[in-house]
Amino acid sequence: MEEGSEILQLYEIQYSDLLLLSSSSSSCSHYQEKMIMENLGPTGPGLLAITNVPDASLLRRKLLPLARKLALLSPDDRKRILRDHNLGSDVPLKNPDRNVSSFAMQLKYAQGTEAIESKPSDGVGSHLNLENETMGRISDIEDDVFDNLENMFKALGLCMMEIGLCLARICDMAIGGNELEQSLLESCAAKGRLIHYHSMVDSLVLREAGPKKGSSKRNANNHARSKENLLKGANLDTNGNEVRLCEIHPNLWQQWHYDYGIFTLLTDPMFLLSSHRTTVKSEFSNSSGQECASPSGHSYLQVFHPNKNKVLMVKASPESFIVQVGESADILSKGKLRSTLHCVRRPARFENISRETFVVFLQPAWSKTFSISDYPMEHYNPSVHHLEQAEEHYFADQDQNALTQEIQKIVPPLSARLKDGMTFAEFSRETTKQYYGGSGLQSNK
């Protein structure tokens, strides 16, 4: 499925053009606005990319490698560094079989309110103020790589929050009203997440470093079983929750799912190459990985395009930001925007490649009330619509439609999770419960 996947080259818009388009006094051509709505709307893939964001390249290159360094620290050292930099984790880091490590922080709009609320009038940035002190110290962090972790996390996160607000404003102008932008501002906060997708080598190192119990024979069996579990797929989605594994998708870092906020913004991922043969001692004392190109030249983010009834592999320009539509935007826009069904694949035959990314989840306030009046039925209960499409094209591509039907078994339809009058808190709790079981309560870190 990896080598033969059709590539989706994302539609790209430059950051400076995004600012111009989001200005109420803009006299720009409506072509870009039209293309944004086509790509984020019901006939598009639900994604696009933002390029040439000031300072983003430097921040990305400094911050992303820290995800792997944090993941491979000893538990005591990691706990201390996370505490010192006001970070938490919504992943069970004590689980040695985890495929993903995630480090999270709530980002407050108030931290950049003055810049966020000032509308661009001349096309020159309302870019959030990445403090001179912060930017000036980035080049000095090599002495202690975590010294500037919190500042860089906030700087990149606030930059991405501004982009989300600009995009919400553009979509609101196309749809009418200001529902999306107002919903984001009313939430007061977004969640930033620095994510390390483990290579096989990383995961086995963590497993070997874990507590040793029982006989050596039993440990050897557990080691073999751990590697088998790693090959089966991921245990986390981009909402930060553990997921059920599915045997038909044996090589996933993240299982198929929708994000349930308004927009998700992701950095173009960074890939790191670690040694095939490493000891626990050397890995924990020097947990650096060498940056390398994507093995297949794409992001390993896969999306299901409902209109094409196809799974596509996403490709974006280096160092761009990827924007995905979440289910809340789909609901609030009455289907004018289309939420993105997606997963993350693991590169086949590359046991020593890890993937690093930084993600910001923009969502409405927990008290935001949802209405399903005037909401398209094919979005509300897509399984019937998708399966009808699959039947129409069954003989043309049996393998593809088998995958389509399998995805539908994994992902609970919106109709099973959303009822008229639900708040966003109730919707997110029910979504979490149906995907993953348990109470459905979200981490506040």
The fraction of the chain above a pLDDT of 70, given in percent, is: 70
pLDDT class for 398, splitting at 50, 70, 90?
low
pLDDT class for 418, splitting at 50, 70, 90?
very high
pLDDT class for 109, splitting at 50, 70, 90?
confident
d(CA 19, CA 8): 25
Which of 257 and 140 is assigned the larger pLDDT? 257
- The order of strands in the sheet holding 301-305 is 6-9, 310-315, 301-305, 341-345, 252-258
Burial class (CB in 10 A: 0-12, 13-18, 19+), 95: middle
Question: To which residue do tokens 């989840």 refer?
Answer: 361
In the predicted structure, residue 427 carries a pLDDT above the cut 80: yes
Domain ranges of the chain: 7-109+146-207+248-388
271-294: pLDDT as tens digits = 999 865 444 444 444 456 899 999
In the predicted structure, residue 19 carries a pLDDT above the cut 50: yes
Amino acid at 291: E
Tokens, residue 252: 């996933």
pTM: 0.82
Which residue intervals of 85-175 are DSSP H helices? Answer: 113-117, 132-138, 149-175
| Displacement of CA 7 from its chain's centroid (Å) | 19
Query: Quick one: average pLDDT of 146-160?
Result: 96
pLDDT at 212: 57
pLDDT class for 344, splitting at 50, 70, 90?
very high
pLDDT at 44: 95
Which of 179 and 285 is assigned the larger pLDDT? 179
pLDDT at 209: 74
Query: 194: Cβ–Cβ under 8 A, 6 or more apart, which residues?
Result: 63, 64, 66, 67, 70, 87, 102, 103, 104, 153, 356, 358
pLDDT at 213: 53
pLDDT at 29: 64
Which of 162-165's residues contact partners 24+ apart within 8 Å by CB, and which partners?
A: 162/112, 162/115, 162/116, 162/126, 162/127, 162/128, 163/15, 163/18, 163/50, 163/53, 163/265, 163/321, 163/323, 164/190, 164/262, 164/263, 164/265, 164/323, 164/360, 164/362, 165/22, 165/116
d(CA 386, CA 409): 12
Tokens, residue 6: 């059709």
For domain 7-109+146-207+248-388, give the CATH number: 2.60.120.330
pLDDT at 243: 42
What is the C-alpha R_g of the chain?
A: 21
| Residue 151 φ/ψ, nearest 5 degrees | -65, -45
Which of 117 and 27 is assigned the larger pLDDT? 27
In the predicted structure, residue 115 carries a pLDDT above the cut 90: no
22-75: pLDDT as tens digits = 986 655 668 899 999 999 999 999 999 999 999 999 999 999 999 999 999 999
Bridge partners of 344?
254, 301
Average pLDDT value over all residues in the chain: 80
187-238: pLDDT as tens digits = 999 999 999 999 988 888 888 776 655 545 544 455 445 445 444 443 444 4
224-273: pLDDT as tens digits = 454 454 444 434 444 444 444 334 455 899 989 999 999 999 999 999 99
Query: Quick one: average pLDDT of 373-379?
Result: 82
Contact between residue 11 and residue 48 where contact means Cβ atoms under 8 Å apart: yes
Amino acid at 202: D
pLDDT at 62: 95
In the predicted structure, residue 4 carries a pLDDT above the cut 70: no
Query: Quick one: average pLDDT of 87-92?
Result: 89
The string of DSSP letters for 21-88 reads HH-TT----SHHHHHHHHHHSTTS-SEEEEE--TTHHHHHHHHTHHHHHHHTS-HHHHHHHHHHTT-B
| Displacement of CA 113 from its chain's centroid (Å) | 24
pLDDT at 391: 44
